[in-house]
Structure 1
Amino acid sequence: MQRQTESRGSSLETKSSPITPSQPNFPKFSFAVITVNSKGEEVTRETQEAEYFAEDLGNDVSLEMVSIPGGIFWMGTDDAEIERLVKKFDWDGYRREKPQHQVTVPPFSMGKYPVTQAQWKAIAALDKIDIDLELDPSNFKGDQRPVETVNWYECVEFCKRLSQRTGKQYRLPSEAQWEYACRSVNSEQLTVNSEGLTLAQWNEKYHQPFHFGQTITGDLANYRATYTFADEPKGQYRKETTSVGQFPPNAFGLYDMHGNVWEWCADEWHKNYQNAPSDGSIWLNGDNNRSPLRGGSWNYNPFNCRSAYRNSFDAREDRNYLNGCRVVCVFGSE
């Protein structure tokens, strides 16, 4: 996992630390983790390893699940950064990301990629549990592109059928699981007192807007790169989804966490984090007609693809060619 050792605005140095296995005897895969400065210039490249397992969905289609170690993190965005974003981008929706709060997340596994169209077809062909599923709902066709034009209820049905087929417990991620997995910062960095840091100092040192660091570029993710977040150059606006895994992963080995498609979360929508759970669980008792969407999409500006950004523009029953999903697998009871 990535361990950052210098403050924002200076060159970054990283060290590797081992990922704690969440389940025994899983194989590992290697990948390169990249960090960039505010100009989008690569400042570090480190080889990391993560554990995973694969589900055979039939017809040469598999689903790779990456082990995510448990840990503690600060969810959301600090007040000073929120006000900076509100002023810079002239939108008060960033206040949904407050108050910043500490969350303890147990180990789980998460899809290495957003659910692909091939994976969707394989599971949608199985027997119905609650609702019907279209085999091929997506606007942008391609087996290795993410599935989109699927609503929240259809993604939940996908998880139920996948669970029934595999005998494991699959579901959509909680919003806390999603943000923790996206940030992919290890627990050593998350205890403010371990280095004698104030929370403000810790935010400056570790709480970057993107898992890549201070910004993103069109070479790192699929989004509307004709807009910029920091001092990076403008890039390509592709105007469509791209096949999963084309861009570098984060420090947990997850791909496409920024851009490509918005990803549905399991929680009910809450307008901010007042009284949010601190255990990484699914947050209910909110607006049960809406759920958070995370990660941004091919059609969105970089400031809305940040790790902390929360969206609720679609009701649960709405289908949109910007929206897809990613699954998690939890071991034991929740």
Structure 2
Amino acid sequence: MRSLFRMLFSAAVLTLMAGATACGAESPAHLKLLKTFVDEFVEITPGVGRFPKSFQQGGEQPAREVTFAYSFSIAKYEVPQNLYEAVMGSNPSRWKGPRNSVESMSWEEANDFCEKATARLRAVKLIGNDDVIRLPSESEWEYCCRAGTTTTYSFGDEAQATGDVAPKATLLDQYAWHTGNAAGNDPAVGVLKPNPWGLYDVHGYLWEYCSDDWHADSSGAPTDGTPWRDTAESNDKPASRRVMRGGSWKDDSTWLRSSSRRAIGPSARNDAIGFRCVLSRG
């Protein structure tokens, strides 16, 4: 499964690497952004230290046990606008700010960013030739969001303090941008508290794309952490919908639970949707 997972990127990345090399060296500013991006990944080693080998995934669908047989790294932050623009040459975001999370790109464009970032990082030797930047699988995303917890949120079961009236959620305010505290704010990534594994904005701010096709329930889902892709999918028949996780600044606290999920069309765009990346080492 992992080898098939990597092969999905191979042809596109090789082409992009050739283009990156032809364009010459990165500018100092872009090189700094790329280096910062790599340095901010958090290594995830299931079965070692604080990282459990298995976890119970689900809540919106029947829970299932997922067991990882591989390690990976996940970005500490959602992709910021300055990095996205450096890689893609444009910034689609409605709410501008260099270190704000990029938004209003489609799933397809987020996936394209991953392929281009892989090529650029390989070309300047910030990652190895077999390393890949990609979107997380849904299992990887929830595992990292939960950070070893089994509670409703990574910080506990309750979003609201005694006396809070929705959408107010005083406990959630410390960790997440949501409809109860986002009005008038235009935040950079990482302003609020991280989860126990040092990941910021996994609850709220922006919904985050995953690599999986959308399935309403978990019947037949992989249990090894890899993405669930429809076998009938091909370049001529792409997935009709993808998965996004985590909730956003437009949602109330119930949508920011660790298990919350929604479907999204691969070409749809919204200013409440962004993404974070995974780094797979070869």
Whether the aligned pair in 1 keeps the contact of 2:114 and 2:134 (CA below 8 Å) is yes
Distance 2:76 2:244 in 1: 18
Structure 2 counterpart of 1:261: 206
How far the C-alpha of 1:59 sits from its partner, in A, is 5.6
Secondary structure of the structure 2 residue equivalent to 1:155: helix
Whether the aligned pair in 2 keeps the contact of 1:222 and 1:241 (CA below 8 Å) is no
Q: TM-score, normalised by structure 1?
A: 0.62
Query: Do structure 1's residue 99 and structure 2's residue 66 form an aligned pair?
Result: no
Q: 1:75-224 to 2 correspondence within 5 Å?
A: 75-77=57-59, 97-105=60-68, 106-125=70-89, 135-167=90-122, 168-185=131-148, 207-216=150-159, 217-224=172-179
Query: Do structure 1's residue 307 and structure 2's residue 258 form an aligned pair?
Result: yes
Secondary structure of the structure 2 residue equivalent to 1:265: strand
Change (3 A) 1:180 1:241: farther
Whether the aligned pair in 2 keeps the contact of 1:241 and 1:260 (CA below 8 Å) is no
Distance 1:242 1:298 in 2: 11
Higher RCO by CA contacts (8 Å cutoff, separation 6 or greater):
2
Whether the aligned pair in 1 keeps the contact of 2:175 and 2:201 (CA below 8 Å) is no
Query: Do structure 1's residue 69 and structure 2's residue 41 form an aligned pair?
Result: no
The structure carrying a bigger helix percent of its residues is 2
**Once the two structures are aligned, what percentage of the paired residues are identical?**
35
Change (3 A) 1:256 1:57: farther
Unaligned 5+ residue runs, structure 2?
1-27, 47-52, 123-130, 160-171, 232-237
Whether the aligned pair in 2 keeps the contact of 1:240 and 1:298 (CA below 8 Å) is no
Query: Do structure 1's residue 320 and structure 2's residue 263 form an aligned pair?
Result: no
Q: 1:33-48 to 2 correspondence within 5 Å?
A: none
What letter corresponds to residue 209 of structure 1 in structure 2? T
Secondary structure of the structure 2 residue equivalent to 1:271: coil
Secondary structure of the structure 1 residue equivalent to 2:118: helix
Count of paired positions: 218
Secondary structure of the structure 1 residue equivalent to 2:55: strand
Change (3 A) 1:294 1:171: same
Whether the aligned pair in 2 keeps the contact of 1:264 and 1:292 (CA below 8 Å) is yes
Structure 2 counterpart of 1:293: 244
Secondary structure of the structure 2 residue equivalent to 1:60: helix
What letter corresponds to residue 43 of structure 2 in structure 1? S
What letter corresponds to residue 80 of structure 2 in structure 1? T
Q: 1:24-39 to 2 correspondence within 5 Å?
A: none
Whether the aligned pair in 1 keeps the contact of 2:250 and 2:272 (CA below 8 Å) is yes
How far the C-alpha of 1:57 sits from its partner, in A, is 7.3
How far the C-alpha of 1:258 sits from its partner, in A, is 0.3
What letter corresponds to residue 257 of structure 1 in structure 2? V
How far the C-alpha of 1:157 sits from its partner, in A, is 0.4
Secondary structure of the structure 2 residue equivalent to 1:266: strand
Change (3 A) 1:320 1:269: same
Please give the per-residue CA displacement for 1:105-158, whole angstroms capped at 9, x wherever unaligned: 221101110000011011113xxxxxxxxx110000000100000000000100
What letter corresponds to residue 87 of structure 2 in structure 1? I
The structure carrying a bigger strand percent of its residues is 1
Please give the per-residue CA displacement for 1:272-296, whole angstroms capped at 9, x wherever unaligned: 1111100000101188121111010
Distance 1:68 1:261 in 2: 22
Secondary structure of the structure 2 residue equivalent to 1:282: coil
Please give the per-residue CA displacement for 1:171-228, whole angstroms capped at 9, x wherever unaligned: 100000000000000xxxxxxxxxxxxxxxxxxxx52010011123223210012xxx
Distance 2:262 2:145 in 1: 15
Root-mean-square deviation (CA, aligned residues, Å) is 1.7
Whether the aligned pair in 2 keeps the contact of 1:57 and 1:119 (CA below 8 Å) is no
Please give the per-residue CA displacement for 1:62-92, whole angstroms capped at 9, x wherever unaligned: 2121111212100002xxxxxxxxxxxxxxx
Which 4+ residue blocks in structure 1 deviate beyond 3 angstroms?
none
Secondary structure of the structure 2 residue equivalent to 1:58: helix
